[in-house]
Structure 1
């Protein structure tokens, strides 16, 4: 994987030409590539829309639960149009066939309103909530939404499963780093369908419940619904499958704002292999924090 960098001029602070090196991220991604992992990354500076880091960002890779973001967009659009009642009560699916991820499976309430399912699916990666929301919204509608969002190389292939058989899709979703970074940039700008739809989806993605990837270094509090006191904004969605880690989102601070997406497909042979993959996300979080704050 060849990583390319961009530069920008920060005239507001008289700093002259500042190079966004993303040195730690580049080093970590190159090490992963040399070890046989597939890596894709895209980082854009939001004020100018300038790409500051990219590498294989056009290549579709498995993205796990990251692929549910357009599902959330479709649900939000239906709610805003009045076609979907956010307080409609729906039942939890059979736990025997469900991938064990998220809090709903352990909750006493077997029935929740759709709007709560969207929050569980968005902020906490709840597989039961995502499957139920997908069944209610419809797979065809989500596929059309991907197209409408300008994401032709990405797709939600299936719901979450405890096991995947030969007749099932091999992955939950596929996506490119470029398309998911662009989606989050548009969410930040309020340009996904409409401003109310964008704000609703961002609300479902905040706080970031999975702070094990980029969020581990950004330092957000997944239990807080108030500003962090340091002027930092971070909303994101992660995706996890065996041998797959994906994270896309927005990091914005006093000095800069960035939309990012990083996808890593690796041989999950041991915890050390997994730690090396996670270290790349931590490196990206550290670089983003340096340039945003």
Structure 2
């Protein structure tokens, strides 16, 4: 991995003072200084960092840093797959109750729980739940096998996501003839995509609602979401008024998360992508700490 350019000071200036700040009181108090410090330290250590946070109420950019840079996003890349799956259900191109036999799929054990279940076959709708809620690689591959890469690429083009690509399914090992990554994307486009989902603008209101519902089941609340205090297994209706939808991506040297967080004072769409040299647990934990720092400051912004 080459040495990256550091986060540009011009971008930090733009996010901190160059644009009109959101009108809510919470926004005026937030500088996100701890987040910038953590991300600058990652960039100085050789990591490639891309971040974007937008205010859902005003449309203002709250944080931006190298948000145009295309980075590997691992499982975060299945969000476009879920959108195309929901669109195919709505349009009648796929039957949500169509049964997929696990034995007909290439084995993949990188993540997920279907491989551990006794049920050898499940309907497509249940596979969408497993893929979104549990990061199930086998379930995602099953959906991709029915939807097709070409359909996902066409959907990305229709959504105006020129810098996001789903390249391949999940594999236990990647050979020289395989795509080097599952998916690529930018923080700018993933933040915008989640904003469009919660605002019912991704394909149609029904498709947006279905994908948001699937993603609201995500149990991976260990990165940005760790600051929310939400129950990983039941956070659709929070007693304290938090709305939260997210998806993470994990791989060797890859950590990515995008989502929407809304509270009583404000709401944001966000994406943070980091590509790093995963040389030790310490390197990995430094990256995780940066995600959690962002989570803390986002909570202060919205709550």
What displacement does 1:216 show?
A: 1.2
The aligned runs of 1:1-293 (5 Å cut-off) are: 1-2=7-8, 3-4=11-12, 5-6=15-16, 7-10=20-23, 15=25, 18-92=28-102, 97-224=107-234, 226-293=236-303
Normalised by the length of structure 1, the TM-score is: 0.95
- Aligned to 2:21, the other structure's residue is in SS state strand
Q: Which moved more, 1:77-86 or 1:155-164?
A: 77-86
8 A contact 1:95–1:105 mirrored in 2 = no
Q: CA RMSD in A?
A: 1.6
What displacement does 1:20 show?
A: 3.2
What displacement does 1:97 show?
A: 3.9
Name the CA distance, whole Å, in 2 between partners of 1:90 and 1:151: 30
- Aligned to 2:93, the other structure's residue is in SS state coil
Name the CA distance, whole Å, in 1 between partners of 2:211 and 2:26: 37
Name the CA distance, whole Å, in 1 between partners of 2:110 and 2:233: 21
Normalised by the length of structure 2, the TM-score is: 0.92
Name the CA distance, whole Å, in 1 between partners of 2:176 and 2:22: 52
Gaps of 5+ in 2: 1-6
8 A contact 2:84–2:151 mirrored in 1 = yes
8 A contact 1:8–1:19 mirrored in 2 = no
Q: Which moved more, 1:157-166 or 1:89-98?
A: 89-98
8 A contact 1:32–1:277 mirrored in 2 = yes
Name the CA distance, whole Å, in 2 between partners of 1:236 and 1:180: 11
Name the CA distance, whole Å, in 2 between partners of 1:202 and 1:16: 26
Q: Would the alpha carbon gap of residues 19 and 268 (structure 1) be closer, same or farther in structure 2, given more than 3 Å must change?
A: same
Gaps of 5+ in 1: none
Name the CA distance, whole Å, in 1 between partners of 2:297 and 2:152: 33
- Aligned to 1:18, the other structure's residue is in SS state helix
8 A contact 2:22–2:58 mirrored in 1 = no
Name the CA distance, whole Å, in 2 between partners of 1:126 and 1:50: 35
